[in-house]
Structure 1
């Protein structure tokens, strides 16, 4: 219904935010084939390296990115500092494969952190454990211990640089742990160091603690540790802080020429699904090779941003709220004594029945217009009257219900279709029509 676990004080910004921007950007954008082109297309390593070292985006303007991020309603962002191709977007001291040592001669991470911090946005950094260029990562500690130790020191030093060179970092997103595990990487010890460098940092769950190879492979790591879960390409609520990582294309994270974007309604649907289940959405964009955010993404994100300007209180800082069975119409969220009904569609009926609401009701309002709605309670049913046949809202209309207490539900709301006690379904059918196979008409 709504989350009931304790959130440490230093992490409370995370559920308050609910909506973040993931930015997959690096020299792979030059291929126009997503962030994994080096491996997926079996590109020649030397040719890719030459291409990457010559990459020099002229339109990278992180202040413009940050302004867009704010306008679109995002509350935090996460930049890929190094993806699986190994190219570093900062002034790394343990390799020359960096934006500072190669063609740009710029520390892209520093520019991003400063711009987004100035804009009042929380700062996230993504880092890939793996580096497709380096055999030792895939051979592991048992093949050539000296090379493995060098690889491990390389990882640790890079993470240290990111955690100590850029001021306060709010959030760190590891990825790509396969085929290594936490013992190989000594990730628990690294996390302890990270908490010394950044005492209030949130660290995700892709740390390699699972011993199940299939779980290590899925989404880059197991779910046993870390401060928050990171379901990828799906919405999978956990009994703690969690964040669904979703693409705005149909598949890819990095820039992919010709790829289709999901429509605004689908992206907003995902945000509302996460919010109603008590989780966050981090929605991805892949800027092009020159540092420009694709116009199709801009349009969709700004449409959602406009919706959030009107209805953001139903999303930001909510406590979830997938409470009653009125799911066919859309979503529910809860904040304090308020219940928000987010409608995927408006069916034109002037009466709406919300079942299974045990709390008393003080008022009902059609948000966006502020129109007060007539209502009555019949048992656990809330009946709203006088709804307009059409609304002016082009996306998802929202009704705000002020309750006399924290919104609550009955057993039907707590136990949904395909779950709970099957006996209640049998009792319901028996009480209302008996147990025969034939109609009673």
Structure 2
């Protein structure tokens, strides 16, 4: 059968990066989101595409999505592709409801697929895929959370020279969702290390600090901070050539100066905010490096400003006692070969590059620069705790086999590679003399370094993105991290941009820890190196909140019960259970909270963690307890109750 449900939720790379990365700019204006009703279809704008355009549907402008007359019914449908592409729409739904969403889809080639997905409804994203070449109706059943009123619909053509088609979206209301089932303590599975490319994931012991720290500061900073037209993707969005972009960056009056850059101040702010680690961009997709790269093609702060900004940062972070993290993007728009690594198949791009044989050598130069820079970072900047890779896909298209063949991300480089790295940029393994690949370099030069999965290797950590609270079940089998930009719209500096209020940041953090993942919250310094005041203010308020609530955050594990999106979640440590309760909790106005089943566990006491006030509780016949007298106004965004048991939560 060619219909494949939840096929890797293909989003592990494409949806997370290309959909959620720009989610703030993709979502529909509020005026288009009407009040929900049982007939949900009429609240999807242009559900059948019969307007003859993409009204209501958004798509990233480098990706192909267009109206076609090859429809299932009526006159029009949407065509996505060739190559990777998608279109998305956010619509209203009823909370606490059951729905079935369906669409007619097809692909041009049975070797490819179209994915239909729903997410952001308070549960785990769901998808269905089809590789059929004639229109076939696919459907997904799901339940919305008690406290949500939205849904994100997406169609994706992951890759391939053909295109995908979609038509006739229908959203059918099936009635109220059933009451949540009573939960017993979850069984915590044992994480098994995965091997990829001859390299094992780090063992649990070396991941302990990451599991315990929970909260980190992400910093997107580079020459793009001097471009008011956009954010870190401004060169791409505006289709600027490298020379123009570089000239703008080097302008002494308006360009990137780092004149007020003091990483000691950044580290001090991170500590006040309750953050335990920091991650700074060493290089983003524009190819500008904040460190002293020796590659002849390198464009660096050392060359432009006479400063190694990463050196200053690493010294400051170590002095602060925080864990040291770095970000590095291997992709670079400076190389046309990035879109055409074979020289035989140029991928769609905003600069109009077309297939040319010389692109193969250009791509090899790009690879060599990456090997020189990654080796430099790993060798010359002391011990690093965490590396956030970003952008290992080629031509901005996910193609696992090509990425592995090109980058050699495992232990060794392939001696028969079509893109061999010259000897001067090679590090060989002692004893065998084999040339090390990316993870071979990591494990040799920084054996305890935690890395994510965005460089064609399985990763020690799975990265999630998006400006909405994390949903779904507890992540037990894979260490995880949610990345959110504090600034609304983009990760790099934008003048006078609004930020998420402190209350939402608290909800982001709590929703992460109850699911056993970290929150990496991004700040965006300006061209001189100053973090805007509105961002600093939110961080300081978050730090004040954590000074009271940190016991329920740091060093905890998600559980012992699964969270219920928008209502509550739990963390635990030793004999303590921490109940994280949100404004959407269905009994919020009652001043009570009822737990899940405690089994045979006995309760010693319950307090409101914010002020330490003891609370009354009664045990129920179903082995839950109901806590009364809860003052939800003390910390309304997220109230946390501490339950102390007479024995450990788990033996």
Alignment match of 1:14 (pick from 210, 233, 237): 210
Give the Å deviation of 1:226.
0.9
Match in the other structure for 2:325: 124
Give the Å deviation of 1:249.
2.3
Q: Distance in 1 between matches of 2:593 and 2:513?
A: 22
Match in the other structure for 2:465: 232
Match in the other structure for 1:331: 569
Q: Distance in 2 between matches of 1:375 and 1:294?
A: 45
Aligned length: 391
Match in the other structure for 1:195: 443
Match in the other structure for 2:590: 349
SS in 2 for 1:39: helix
Q: 1:178 to 1:35 in 2, by over 3 A?
A: same
SS in 2 for 1:364: strand
Give the Å deviation of 1:272.
0.5
Give the Å deviation of 1:4.
4.1
Q: Check if 1:28 corresponds to 2:224.
A: yes
Match in the other structure for 1:362: 604
Q: Check if 1:314 corresponds to 2:552.
A: yes
1:303-349, Cα deviation, whole Å (9 max, x unpaired): 11111111101011111127167665433211122111123249453
Q: Distance in 2 between matches of 1:132 and 1:146?
A: 15
SS in 2 for 1:130: coil
Q: Which of the pair has the greater relative contact order for Cα pairs under 8 Å at 6+ separation?
A: 1
Q: Check if 1:400 corresponds to 2:596.
A: no
Q: 1:227 to 1:46 in 2, by over 3 A?
A: same
Q: Distance in 1 between matches of 2:329 and 2:499?
A: 25
Instruction: Note if contact 1:341-1:400 (Cα within 8 Å) is conserved in structure 2.
Output: yes
Q: 1:25-424 to 2 correspondence within 5 Å? A: 25-32=221-228, 33-54=230-251, 55-94=256-295, 95-102=297-304, 104-142=305-343, 143-144=357-358, 145-179=360-394, 181-188=403-410, 189-208=437-456, 225-233=458-466, 235=470, 238=475, 239-321=477-559, 323=561, 329-345=567-583, 347=588, 349-358=590-599, 359-379=601-621, 380-388=623-631, 391-393=633-635, 395-407=637-649
Instruction: Note if contact 2:293-2:373 (Cα within 8 Å) is conserved in structure 1.
Output: yes
More strand by percentage: 2
SS in 2 for 1:231: strand
Give the Å deviation of 1:395.
4.4
Once structures 1 and 2 are overlaid, which stretch shifts more, 104-113 or 87-96?
A: 87-96
CA RMSD of aligned residues (A): 2.1
Instruction: Note if contact 2:222-2:288 (Cα within 8 Å) is conserved in structure 1.
Output: yes
SS in 1 for 2:461: coil
Listed as ranges, the gaps of 5+ residues in structure 1 are: 210-224, 409-441
TM-score, normalised via structure 2 length: 0.57
1:388-407, Cα deviation, whole Å (9 max, x unpaired): 4x644364332100123444
Q: Distance in 2 between matches of 1:109 and 1:340?
A: 38
Match in the other structure for 2:106: none
Q: Distance in 1 between matches of 2:452 and 2:531?
A: 26
Give the Å deviation of 1:360.
2.1
TM-score, normalised via structure 1 length: 0.83
SS in 2 for 1:333: strand
Q: Distance in 1 between matches of 2:636 and 2:593?
A: 20
Q: Distance in 1 between matches of 2:342 and 2:262?
A: 41
Once structures 1 and 2 are overlaid, which stretch shifts more, 225-234 or 109-118?
A: 225-234
Instruction: Note if contact 1:374-1:386 (Cα within 8 Å) is conserved in structure 2.
Output: yes
More helix by percentage: 1
Instruction: Note if contact 1:324-1:355 (Cα within 8 Å) is conserved in structure 2.
Output: no
Q: Distance in 2 between matches of 1:122 and 1:183?
A: 33
